[in-house]
Amino acid sequence: MELQLALDLVDIPEAKLVVAEVADYIDIVEIGTPVVINEGLRAVKEIKEAFPSLRVLADLKIMDAGGYEVMKASEAGADIITVLGASDNSTIRGAVEEARKQNKKIMVDMINVQNIEDRAKEIDELGVDYICVHSGYDHQAAGKNSFEELAAIKRVVRRAKTAIAGGIKLDTLPEVIKAQPDLVIVGGGITSQEDKKAVAAAMKRLVNQA
């Protein structure tokens, strides 16, 4: 099981400060969609250059032109790129094909996907690397979490690794770990804490024990 830090509400200098504080305790750093919107793929490039030992995920939430967008993210240094599970199979295939050429990975984000178990089975057969259940900000505000969705996809996914994101904090992490995802994605549960290093270290200890 691995730990991913999601950065959403920072600019590039702030992102570098946060990552420097917790780099020893995370496996992947995510350049979140808001950061990409505000800063462009330059954010991916600068974080990868500053922290070459970390894998960098570009949360592009690709919905179309999968091959092209994966190519551009790869050029910027992304190791993992996200595609939406609601996109067309041809988009996902294009993303996977380009990722293979570039030696990169594809994560499919299942946010707002209906019939999640059936869709996860289809997506798994397309050769993606990760399938992620995700309670977005709006879902979290409505009190939703992704534990049931994680259990659903784990019943059918045979090839891809599974991931979970959305509102995970240190006190809820043990419950997440019981669900046995391959990757735990934490944003504000680390970035909003006063002592980010201590919280990240505690989370990493729990993840490593799983």
Q: What are the tens digits of pLDDT across the range 35-71?
A: 999 999 999 999 999 999 999 999 999 999 999 999 9
Residue 34's domain is classified under what CATH number?
A: 3.20.20.70
Mind listing the pLDDT tens digit for each residue in 134-166? Answer: 876 676 666 666 788 999 999 999 999 999 999
Give the total number of structural domains in the chain: 1
**Mean pLDDT, the chain, whole residue set:** 95
Predicted local confidence at residue 145, as pLDDT = 64
Give 72-97 pLDDT, tens digit per residue. Answer: 999 999 999 999 999 999 999 999 99
Q: Is 8's pLDDT higher than 70? A: yes
Q: What percent of the chain has pLDDT over 70?
A: 96
Is the pLDDT at 177 greater than 70? The verdict is yes
Mean pLDDT of 108-113: 95
Report the distance separating Cα 140 and Cα 187, nearest Å.
13
Q: Who's near 57: CB < 8 A, 6+ residues apart?
A: 4, 28, 29, 30, 31, 78, 79, 80, 81, 82, 107
Residue numbers of the domain that contains 75: 2-209
Contact between 131 and 157 under an 8 Å Cβ cutoff? The reply is yes
